[in-house]
Amino acid sequence: MTEIPVRDFDFHGPALDTIFDTYKELRDHCPVGWSDRYGGFWFLAKNEDIFNAEQDWATFSVAPSMLLPAFGTDEPMIPIDIDPPLHSAYRKLLLPLFTPRAVDALTPLVEETARTLADEVVKGEVADIGLGYARPLPSIIFCTLVGYPPEDWHMFDDWVDRIIYDRDVNPEESATAANEVRDYLWSLVERRRREPPKDDITGRLITAQIDGRPITDEEILNYGYLLFLAGLDTTAWAIRSSLWYLARNPQDQERLRRDPGLISSAAEEFLRTMSPVQAMARTATKDVEVGGCPIKKGDRVVLAFGSGNRDEDAYPDPDEIIIDREENRHFAFGAGIHRCLGSNLGRREVIVALREFLDRVPPFEAVNLDEPWHGVGPLTVRFIREA
pTM for this structure?
0.96
Q: What is the mean pLDDT of the chain?
A: 94
Evaluate whether residue 8 is within a structural domain. Answer: no
> Which residues neighbour 5 within 8 Å (Cβ) at sequence distance 6 or greater?
30, 32, 33, 34, 293
- Does an H or E element contain 360, and which? helix 343-360
Evaluate whether residue 7 is within a structural domain. Answer: no
> Cα angle vertex 61, ends 57, 65, to 5°?
135
- Cα 283 from chain centroid? 21
Q: For residue 6, give the DSSP letter.
A: B
Quick one: pLDDT at residue 1? Answer: 47
Average pLDDT over residues 176-192: 93
Average pLDDT over residues 41-70: 95
> Cα angle vertex 184, ends 179, 187, to 5°?
125
**Residue ranges making up the domain that contains 369:** 13-383
Distance of alpha carbon 32 from alpha carbon 313, whole angstroms:
15
Quick one: pLDDT at residue 75? Answer: 84
Residue 170 — pLDDT band, cuts 50, 70, 90?
A: confident
Longest alpha-carbon distance in the chain: 71
pLDDT tens digits, one per residue of 1-14: 467 899 999 999 89
Average pLDDT over residues 314-319: 97
Cβ neighbours, 10 Å, residue 385: 10
> Cα angle vertex 143, ends 179, 210, to 5°?
70
Evaluate whether residue 245 is within a structural domain. Answer: yes
**What are the distances in angstroms from CA 294 to CA 34, 69, 286, 290, 306?**
10, 23, 11, 7, 23
Distance of alpha carbon 206 from alpha carbon 39, whole angstroms:
36
Answer whether residue 174 shows pLDDT above 90.
no
Distance of alpha carbon 44 from alpha carbon 30, whole angstroms:
9
> Which residues neighbour 232 within 8 Å (Cβ) at sequence distance 6 or greater?
138, 139, 142, 156, 160
Answer whether residue 150 shows pLDDT above 80.
yes
Average pLDDT over residues 369-383: 96
Quick one: pLDDT at residue 157? Answer: 87
Quick one: pLDDT at residue 2? Answer: 62
pLDDT tens digits, one per residue of 250-297: 999 999 999 999 999 999 999 999 999 999 999 999 999 999 999 999
Evaluate whether residue 354 is within a structural domain. Answer: yes
Quick one: pLDDT at residue 387? Answer: 63
Q: What are phi and psi of 194, to 5 degrees?
A: -90, -5
Distance of alpha carbon 174 from alpha carbon 159, whole angstroms:
8
Evaluate whether residue 272 is within a structural domain. Answer: yes
Evaluate whether residue 6 is within a structural domain. Answer: no
Q: Which residue has the higher pLDDT, 29 or 154?
A: 29
Average pLDDT over residues 106-124: 97
Angle between helices 217-248 and 171-193 (to 10 degrees): 120
* Among 211, 210, 215, 170, CA closest to 72: 170
Answer whether residue 154 shows pLDDT above 90.
no
Peptide bond preceding 64 in cis form (omega within 30 of 0): yes
Q: Which residue has the higher pLDDT, 72 or 384?
A: 384
Highest average pLDDT, of 72-81, 168-177, 279-288, comes from 279-288
How are beta strands 380-383 and 288-290 bridged, if at all?
unpaired
Distance of alpha carbon 328 from alpha carbon 137, whole angstroms:
26
Domain tally for the chain?
1
* Cα first-last separation, the chain: 71
CATH number at residue 119: 1.10.630.10
Average pLDDT over residues 219-235: 89
Contact 378, 128 (CB under 8 A): yes
- Does an H or E element contain 182, and which? helix 171-193
Distance of alpha carbon 13 from alpha carbon 58, whole angstroms:
31
Evaluate whether residue 364 is within a structural domain. Answer: yes
Evaluate whether residue 177 is within a structural domain. Answer: yes
Distance of alpha carbon 263 from alpha carbon 255, whole angstroms:
10
Answer whether residue 73 shows pLDDT above 80.
no
